[in-house]
Amino acid sequence: MNAEYYASRSALAEPSRRRKEPVVWSTWRPGAPLRIGEKLAFEENGYLVFRRRFSANEVARLRGEADRLREHAGELVDPETVVREPEGDSVRSIFETHRQSEVFRELAADIRLLDVARWLLGDDVYIHQSRLNYKPGFEGEAFPWHSDFETWHSEDGMPGMRAVSASILLDDNTACNGPLMVIPGSHLRFFPCAGETPEEHYRESLRRQRYGVPDPDLLTELARTYGIEALTGEAGTVVFFDCNLLHASAGNITPLPRSNLFLVYNALSNRLGDPQDGLRPRPEFLASRRFEPLE
């Protein structure tokens, strides 16, 4: 049973485990949405970067929509889905963007994203979670190291590792403004985390995560062994990364924002069950239970 195999959040961290599921669920053939080299790289590293997937015009439209949602959050957006920075009042994230905006609804079904997600997961897919992370200038705070699957399995009852995130860069992500950092290859093991999940953990974790973060000694060892990559790129770049890849990002002390949109595609066959440890399911805006395939 996966619930036990991928158990996490006990008082003391358990040893790591080998990932049971494949990383890529389709067999490569000519005509696949990825080149063979890209498929192999995704399997090995757990992420892929596609430069200039969206044109400057498209980015301007997406960026404009992200600004509009933030500036008129009061009228346009369900207040539950807005997360503020831990210090100050800037908007850190807006969740459920694919339901609150026609532009992002369309984007979630864009063939450049959907085809890759479906092919990687070898199944029909639906959006498990979508969010805008604004990383505002001066105030945008860090995201500590974590595997998304560790949270989604523990807190949302996602059974297995059959989900992938697409991050669409809406601003240039540079070495300076807090780009996504990853530990390549870390998606091949599961690292249980110590510490029991508090009720309504998301109210804190989305601002500043403390549970579901691997032990510092373990992270040190992994960083020494595998290294750390910063996924920098121009606006319009798309990063696909496996649900179990360890990632983090630093705060943004530059004056300029670093906004990225995230769309999490989950395989229809990997739909959510019950969370671990009798936790109450998190709200729909964080973990969708409308299992309708994207067309």
- Interface with Fe ion (CB under 5 A): 148
222: CB partners within 8 A, 6+ apart = 183, 186, 246
Ramachandran region, residue 106 (left: φ > 0; alpha: ψ -120 to 50; beta: rest): alpha
Q: Which lies closer to ligand 6CS via its Cβ, residue 129 or residue 252?
A: 129
Asked whether the beta carbons of 280 and 198 are under 8 A apart, the reply is: no
Q: Does 131 bind ligand 6CS (CB under 6 A)?
A: yes
Q: Does 143 bind ligand 6CS (CB under 6 A)?
A: yes
Q: Does 70 bind ligand 6CS (CB under 6 A)?
A: no
| Integer angstrom CA distances of residue 219 from 12, 18, 227, 256 | 16, 17, 10, 29
| Rounded least distance, CB 43 to ligand 6CS, Å | 22
Q: Does 148 bind ligand 6CS (CB under 6 A)?
A: yes
Give, as ranges, the residues between 172 and 211 that touch ligand 6CS (CB under 6 A).
202, 205, 209
Cα–Cα dist 87/179, whole Å: 20
Q: Which lies closer to Fe ion via its Cβ, residue 65 or residue 148?
A: 148
- Which does residue 286 bind out of ligand 6CS, Fe ion, none, counting CB within 5 to 8 angstroms by kind? ligand 6CS
The residue count for binding ligand 6CS (CB under 6 A) is 10
Q: Which residues make beta-bridge pairs with 111?
A: none
| Rounded least distance, CB 32 to Fe ion, Å | 27
- For 204, other C-beta atoms within 10 Å of its C-beta total 13
Q: Which residues bind ligand 6CS (CB under 6 A)?
A: 129, 131, 143, 146, 148, 151, 202, 205, 209, 286
